Amino acid sequence: MEQLVGWWQGQGHRVIELMLLGLLLNLPFGFLRAGTRRFSAPWFLYVHVPIPFLFLLRHLLELNAWAILYSLAAAVLGQVFGGKLRNFRDPQETGPSNR
């Protein structure tokens, strides 16, 4: 536990930057994903295209493997918020059947 606390104190601001950028990167992809049929090819692309950019960003910020958890959480939140944004913007048009 002590090791984790020491890691956070040294890299906390970079982790927060990674999370904010990951969330912002995934917002438009979540918006687009919400308009496609679940598990279709475009849906798969909209979910997975931002992942290499998060990987690159994590390496540019010189973060270790602990940051993967935080970047994944931010990516999921960005996808969810982007989908909610689409449903909020077009409440009648929820896209193709997602079920």
Which tens digit of pLDDT belongs to each residue from 9-65? 678 889 999 999 999 999 999 999 999 999 999 999 999 999 999 999 999 999 988
3 in any annotated domain: no
Q: Look at residue 2 and tell me if it is in a domain.
A: no
Question: Which domain range does residue 55 map to?
Answer: 12-89
31 found inside a domain: yes
Q: Determine the pLDDT at residue 96.
A: 61
The answer as to whether 47 is a domain residue is: yes
Distance CA 2, CA 87 (A): 43
Has residue 97 been placed in a domain? Answer: no
Domain assignment present for residue 4? The answer is no
**Residue 98 located in a structural domain:** no
Domain count of the fold of the chain: 1
Residue 86 neighbours by CB under 8 Å, 6+ apart: 30, 31, 34, 35, 95
